[in-house]
Structure 1
Amino acid sequence: MRRRHGVLLTAALLAQLAAGPSHAAAPAPAGWESTDQCGVVRSGDTPLGGAEVTLYQAGDGEGAAPRVLARARSAEDGRFTLDYRRPHDPRAVLYVLADLGRPAGRAPQGAPPDGAGPDGARRGGPAVLAAVLGGAAAPPELVVNERTTVAVAYALSRFTGPDGVSGPHPGLQNAAAVAHNLADTGTGDVAALLAAPPNGALTSTMAEFNTLADLLAACVTGGACDRLFDLARSPGHDRPRDTLRAAVDIAHDPGNNAAGLFDLAATTPTYRPALPAAPDAWTVALRYDGNGRELDGPGNIAFDADGNAWVSNNYRYGADPAVPVCGGRTVLKFTPAGRDAPGAPYRGGGLYGAGFGITVDARGSAWVGNFGFQGDGCPVDPAPLERSVSRFAADGTALSPREGWRGGGIVQPQGMAADRAGTVWVADCGGDSVTRIPEGDATRAREVPTPALSKPFGAAVDPAGRLWVSGNGNDSVQVLAADGTPERTVTGGGLRRPLAVATDSRGYAWVSNSGILPVPCGNTTADDFAAAVGTDTGSGPLPGASVTLIGPDGTPAPEPFTDGGLFLPWGVAVDGDDTVWVANFGGHRVARLCGTDLTACPPGFRTGQPISPPGTGYPSDGLERNTGLQIDPSGNVWLANNWRTVPVRTNPGGHELVVLVGAAAPVRTPLQGGPARP
């Protein structure tokens, strides 16, 4: 059975804190460098003495046991020193657990003192704090507090198992790097990226992060451990037994008991600023904007094998929405932690006004569709520039000619997908056809007529190598065999102005129905699209907003799914548990639906039932109008803020990517035929 919501740290991990020969640090291999790490355990400004501090090397691979590298006990002032041998592997992820035992004076009547079991062996107390060393240079003094614990719980939420933290490369290493975007382990403060624009005071995430830290402090110094564990317990799961595991449970099920958890956090106001009111869900949403002068209308995202995010860009960057912008001539590449990759953004290869089309093929090349987007008032004629795709090597070198790869019927390309054989598919929105590029050889590109489709838009390959393409103009989906032979046309099932398509590991297809949005290609204009967007008053889901499920045989479910935060659906992706995630081009929210693997859903749930809170979904004021949504090898959900909430036609583009940290089950990348666990 597939692990559901991540398996939490169990007693086996904390038992390693017990003294005795059987729990001694493992001998270090010859040649490891001796070093030491100073640190301090604190709650806010209060030092915490007497903590059992253990340094681990995370297991290399799913389920692999972590290695104990060193142990110490914090002094009265909270300080400790860990003497250890630094692992030779530069990819090793190190993390610290500080077990405070049971808060003084809080042991239940009749319980053994200080977390001891009936045999006197230490079992670990309810107050456990954590910090991660991997993913950044070790600070001169490591701070372990509630903030660093929340950072570990969210960023590494998908890499915990019966014996501790473990996972495959690159997801585990990338997750460790993301943890440093949340908390500064050298100071215990909010990390610089979270504290400054486009985050900081511009969104509520920093205040939410501090409130989560207050929630753990309610147990660590406030003694309200039992109440925390009762509220954090997810339906169908064991009750957490320590603060770290409680925080991981909240990360996995952020909509569970959200109001009650907020009330508890308010009892121990340790970190500021904090939320003034309870959130609908405890998702942690980080904004990334690269150098702050490059993203303008990000359309979609595709991940390479290392978890780097390639991003299509509608417009040339412009800070003033009233000044007309022409089509973007760059493709963005972000590291897994949200920084510009070396040399990025990349230019050339025929790029102009890229839309929703971007994919990474089996050889690691990134492909981008040049749709010809531009703002009102741009003097460029886009017609000659909207008939190509561009290709880039992993280092950003353009592999397509100056005018891009043309031919094969490419006209206003939108959705793109690649299969395991290296074939690249392009949905030609303006040509009512599909282009097939066998083995990534653009000189062999050919047009595949799809007369059953009008305005092909979204594209996805299933595990059998078949292509699924949505027809935004005639409420349909076309299925093509791996060689391009049409197999079937799907209608019904609630298909209404469909946009994105995603397939799961079982061959089912999930289609987002915008309900109202006519994509601006062919005989549909940007004015038509803008008029439809103008009907979004923010008062509630728009007509036809839903998701359609189609079986591998092409049979749609009788009724579409309409709840869980589906407002104006666009991007859709399936995670490593076959759970479904949906972005919205309005409403500032993400929907999460139970997929076809019911073992990954809460007990009693049905396929399509919302896991995110009904009505609200997972909202965030960091979101604007989102198009692309994809999931990386660490389980982070990435979204493209494509348009501003109130768009101006001269330059409607948004300027950020938004990442829900650790929210989903990790996915092996690049995506080439249904999701798979790394």
Structure 2
Amino acid sequence: MLLARSTPLALLLSALGIGVASCSFGGGNALSGKLSLMGEPVQQATINVWRSRGGEDAKLLQTLKSKSDGSFKLALKPEKGSVDYLVAEGGSVNGETADKLTMLTVLDQNTTESVHINELTTVGSVWPNAQLFEGDQLTGSTSALAIGSSQVHNLVNQTSGTFGDTLLNSANLLNSETAVRMNVLSNLLALCGQTSQSTGCTSLLSLTRADNTLAAMISIARQPWNNVAALYQLFESNYPVDQATQLRSSASLPYLLFQPDNFSLSIRLDGGGALALGKLMFDHKGNAWSGANWMPGSQSGVVNSIGGGVTHFGPGGKALSPPITGYNGQGLNGTGWGTGISEKYAWVGTFNNRVGVFSLEDGKALGPATIDQPVGQLQGVGTAGNGDVWIADNTGNHMIHFPGGDYTQGKRISIKGLQAPFGVAIDAQNRVWVSSSFNNKITVFPADSPEQSTAIEVNLGTRGIAVDSTGHVWIAQQTHSPEGALAPGAKIPPGIPANPPQPKTIMQEFAAGAEFYVDNPTLTQSGVAAVISPDLKVVKNDIAKGIAYIPWGVTIDGNDNVWIGNLYGQSLIHICGMQPSTCPEGKSTGDVIHNYQSGVIQITTDVIVDDAGNLWSANNWFDGEVVINKTPNARTSTFPGGQGLVVTYGVAAPVQNPLMGPVRKPD
């Protein structure tokens, strides 16, 4: 059976129209169901109907049996803030017992008249919720359950049992393996539907160390890189090519023609002004926020640009901010790495020297924030556990402090030796850690005594910075040494001095980076990650060497494992953190666990983990050459900005958002 726990946040979520995980069945009307496997009815299966809320045990609503045609009926009365899901166990297919067959459909508010349970709804329901299972129980906070359940429709239509509309749009279907991976996974699950395929079923369960198909899918979703070759070979051997048609006639179309690198499932989300996103952040309701470098549909790049606004996505991936412009109303003109969340507000630091402040409730513009002295162009935003907000003045070489998160009380602070501050993180001791996009120093200072700063020497050009639950700090570095040595084979673009002065604008810095990318088309590696101890010592400084290519964003998951947005590598790097017991066997601190790539993942700045354990990443740039093009081509002139954001399902340990201080595990 599946159980779940949740806590009541749903009325607010529902009021915002963000896809709260509850079933709205029009006052308890009958819901017609169909249970099938590979198009054949599953007869006499036990169907348990469960309802879950955060912080509470799941409630068994009904137990049903499927009929000879696989049909069933049930009635569900709406209950806001709840998650309802159906679990089908056993039964028979074509007269043969299927005792290892367990399938799942997680419902949402769109399931109003009929519901399907089949192999595809199982895959589509498991991946967004993969980290919420404890054994055979579905658990999590209210926000986690809301996120997991409301993401299902992106992958699968619970009513028809077919692919979801988001997956079928051209941004996803034509740019990733997600659909064909889902079909192969579905076909593997179907091996346990008939005793005639018992050998294949046994192999599937053995490879995943599972005792039924639902447990097998959960295992694959959590570690999609594990046993990939064996799983793909199992598919090939059980769905052979028909020589007459040259197709795997018994397999679902389309299917994988080549062995994948992993069985992760990724979806690209867009709309709401989401172009060239920099830093992603979540609020306490599971909403994603990000400032946009540039405005969608414009011909913006580093030469000329129209800055974007602030984007806002609900837990299910629906854009809540207005199209094209996003939220604004404060005269903001583009945001880089400067997005942060406090208890009440979304904050952005902009390219035109302003701090924008928005209500978390409705996106209403509340700023710009008041600062006691002039500031330059802004980058990272960090929120402390006590609610203080710190913002990096990148071109002015200052920090801006908002005590208690009061946006009317901003104070500009000078820090000894601080140059081009970029990323900001605050540890449990209320020390502020700041990276630099220009020099080779990490600056650390007590929040109540900024004059007592310490500089830690690292590699030249740091970007993302994050604090784990042990107090260790992880950073992304874009070169290999304090002097900024490039990777073998890299060259400095013409016209750029070997030791350039600090750029006067953020766009100048971006232009230099884009020119490096364009002038090194065969380069695949530059930069590494590092970890620094709570006593300010560099512990390890060659992490992800050979894989990292201009690493940028860094985030920590609930197991203290590390994720990096690998900018020019166009990938998401998963690294074993300070607690190797949570890592795969044989992996130790600093080892790369896997490097995720997909056609929907473009030139990526940031990665961040949601409350359900899904990984969200920001597509910052799309076409690097167009970014710096001074003579635009009409066909490609709107191509600089990265398109939307990407969710990679179920691969990370859940956290508690918003990020205020170090990473927090769920309550």
TM-score of the two chains, using structure 2 as the length reference: 0.84
Residue 555 of structure 1 is matched in structure 2 by 537
Pick from 275, 282, 293 the counterpart of residue 296 of structure 1: 275
- Cα distance in 2 for partners of 1:251, 1:163 equals 15
Which letter does structure 1 place at the counterpart of 2:294?
Y
- Cα distance in 2 for partners of 1:342, 1:530 equals 29
1:90 aligns with 2:90: no
Conserved 8 A contact 2:525-2:546: no
1:193-250 Cα shifts (integer Å, max 9, x gaps): 1111321223222222222222212333543111112222xxxxxx211111111111
Residue 667 of structure 1 is matched in structure 2 by 655
1:421 aligns with 2:394: no
Conserved 8 A contact 2:415-2:453: no
- Cα distance in 2 for partners of 1:604, 1:587 equals 25
1:352 alignment partner, SS class: coil
Question: What does 1:15-414 correspond to in 2, within 5 Å?
Answer: 35-58=29-52, 60-61=54-55, 64-83=56-75, 86=77, 89-100=79-90, 125-133=99-107, 135-162=108-135, 164-221=137-194, 222-223=197-198, 224-232=200-208, 239-266=209-236, 267-268=238-239, 269-290=250-271, 294-318=273-297, 326-341=305-320, 345-362=326-343, 364-371=344-351, 386-394=352-360, 395-401=362-368, 405-408=370-373, 410-414=375-379
Which letter does structure 2 place at the counterpart of 1:670?
P
Q: CA deviation at 1:299?
A: 1.1
Q: CA deviation at 1:567?
A: 2.8
Conserved 8 A contact 1:317-1:325: no
Conserved 8 A contact 2:294-2:300: no
* 571 and 536 in structure 1: CA distance in 2 versus 1, 3 angstrom threshold: farther
Which letter does structure 2 place at the counterpart of 1:663?
V
1:609 aligns with 2:584: no
1:537 aligns with 2:510: no
Conserved 8 A contact 2:46-2:63: yes
1:628 aligns with 2:606: yes
Q: CA deviation at 1:606?
A: 1.5
- Cα distance in 2 for partners of 1:519, 1:587 equals 27
Residue 578 of structure 1 is matched in structure 2 by 560
* 156 and 667 in structure 1: CA distance in 2 versus 1, 3 angstrom threshold: same
* 318 and 59 in structure 1: CA distance in 2 versus 1, 3 angstrom threshold: closer
Q: CA deviation at 1:564?
A: 8.5
1:122-163 Cα shifts (integer Å, max 9, x gaps): xxx321111011x33224221111111011211111211246
Pick from 504, 510, 515 the counterpart of residue 474 of structure 2: 510
Number of corresponding residues: 598
- Cα distance in 2 for partners of 1:428, 1:166 equals 41
* 149 and 454 in structure 1: CA distance in 2 versus 1, 3 angstrom threshold: same
1:156 alignment partner, SS class: helix
- The answer for unaligned runs of 5 or more in structure 1 is 1-8, 14-31, 107-113, 116-124, 233-238, 372-385
Residue 587 of structure 1 is matched in structure 2 by 569
- The answer for unaligned runs of 5 or more in structure 2 is 5-25, 240-249, 480-485, 487-491, 493-499, 630-637
2:229 alignment partner, SS class: helix
- Cα distance in 2 for partners of 1:249, 1:572 equals 26
Segment of structure 1 superposing worse, 507-516 or 556-565: 556-565
- Cα distance in 2 for partners of 1:526, 1:618 equals 25
Task: Give me the CA root mean square deviation.
Answer: 2.7
Q: CA deviation at 1:595?
A: 1.2
2:154 alignment partner, SS class: coil
TM-score of the two chains, using structure 1 as the length reference: 0.83
Conserved 8 A contact 1:412-1:521: no
* 480 and 321 in structure 1: CA distance in 2 versus 1, 3 angstrom threshold: closer
Conserved 8 A contact 2:42-2:91: no
Q: CA deviation at 1:474?
A: 1.4
1:587 alignment partner, SS class: coil
- Cα distance in 2 for partners of 1:490, 1:226 equals 57
1:56-94 Cα shifts (integer Å, max 9, x gaps): 113532xx53221111221221112235x53x6411111
Which letter does structure 1 place at the counterpart of 2:257?
P
Conserved 8 A contact 2:528-2:541: no
Conserved 8 A contact 2:146-2:315: no
Identity, in percent, stands at 30
Pick from 653, 661, 670 the counterpart of residue 641 of structure 2: 653
1:368 alignment partner, SS class: strand
Q: CA deviation at 1:557?
A: 0.9
Conserved 8 A contact 1:509-1:551: yes
1:579-618 Cα shifts (integer Å, max 9, x gaps): 1111111222111111112232123431111221xxxx11
Conserved 8 A contact 2:614-2:651: yes
- Cα distance in 1 for partners of 2:62, 2:502 equals 60
1:597 aligns with 2:579: yes
